[in-house]
Structure 1
Amino acid sequence: MKTKPEKDTDLRTKINRETARLPWSELTRHFAQGTVIFVSPELDLIDVAVRISHDDKESISRWMADGKVGKVSDEQAAGWTAANASLWTSVVSPFVLVQPDTKKLH
């Protein structure tokens, strides 16, 4: 039986500890490889990372359809480069999840 993502406190704690704010310039190599995923500020970055870890296709598909999760676009990348932006990041191999710094994390 799969563990419910919202009850997986050990994984949530691990992801939270490994979440960091990084300059976009340090993420461009991953962007070039197509592994950087945008997470809307409306969503909780840690929750999204946990759900991706558990391959929660239903939530991920819904977020993608709503435009709240998806591959970083060239426009987003150019904007973050121009602004010398820092983003919250969380690694869920092989992906690097990024979220603009517009809300506080846990």
Structure 2
Amino acid sequence: MLRLIQAPNIAIATLWRDLLCEAGLPASVQRQHLGAAAGHLPPGECLPEVWLTHPEHLEHARALLQELERLPQRQWFCRGCSERIEGGFEQCWNCGAWMPA
């Protein structure tokens, strides 16, 4: 196994792991429960980490995570309810209307 990256929190670590696994790159999250030891251990040692099962997947895994960082971020107003939508969302969270073309 090979440590790929340290995540800022367990939610992000899980998201990254799931992305890698869906791409056929087996990965796991380690240190997911060390946050409880914060204050007893250095903070940098308590953050969750994403580990690859096969070291030969390293370059492909890094490329996938870089693509994830570059997802388009949009800002639009829903035609259905005038809600302002930000980020990579294409559907209104409030009324379910889709982003205009």
Q: Shorter chain as normaliser: what TM range?
A: under 0.3
Q: How high is the TM-score relative to the length of structure 1?
A: 0.21
Q: Which has the greater radius of gyration? A: 2
Q: TM-score, normalised by structure 2?
A: 0.22
